[in-house]
Amino acid sequence: MLNKPQAPPRATLGRSVAWTATAAWMAVIFAMSSLPGSAIPGTGSEIAHFVTYGVLGGLLYLAISHETPDRIRAIMLAVLISSAYGVSDEFHQAFVPGRVPDVVDWGIDTLGSLAGALTTHAALRRRREAVRGGGDRDQ
């Protein structure tokens, strides 16, 4: 029987924290979507959707990047999962008083998640380059 190599404790902790933060943020989104329409201010809805799902896309990218070394795959999966969660969120709103599902909101959610995943990817890449000493581009 082959033994699977164990991840270092720090990597395991990072993976656990990333997935826990992602699940917690999804719970926050669900809770916000459960608020009746009268409890939500009318202005800035599009920005709120973009930012909320941007955070989700970034967290999912971070969590998925612990599972696969393929960064493009991690970005695509983060956006796909975020977008699917956005669909379920809009469906959920059909059952909340004063709320209605909106395909435009879902589109904004998806764009936000893409922006979040790409931003997180870029930030982590810069961090890795700086740690390796590759941040000096004047050579």
**Residue range 49-105, pLDDT digits in tens:** 999 999 999 999 999 999 999 999 999 999 999 999 999 999 999 999 989 999 999
**What is the average pLDDT across 96-115?**
95
**What is the average pLDDT across 11-16?**
85
Confirm if 63 and 119 have CB atoms less than 8 A apart.
no
**For the chain, what are the domain ranges?**
22-33+45-132
Confirm if 71 and 121 have CB atoms less than 8 A apart.
yes
Evaluate if residue 139 carries a pLDDT over 60: no
What distance in Å separates the CA atoms of residue 54 and residue 60, rounded to the nearest whole number?
Answer: 10
pLDDT for the residue numbered 105: 94
Work out the percent of the chain whose per-residue pLDDT is above 70: 83
Q: Name the pLDDT band for 16 (thresholds 50, 70, 90).
A: very high
pTM tops 0.95, yes or no:
no
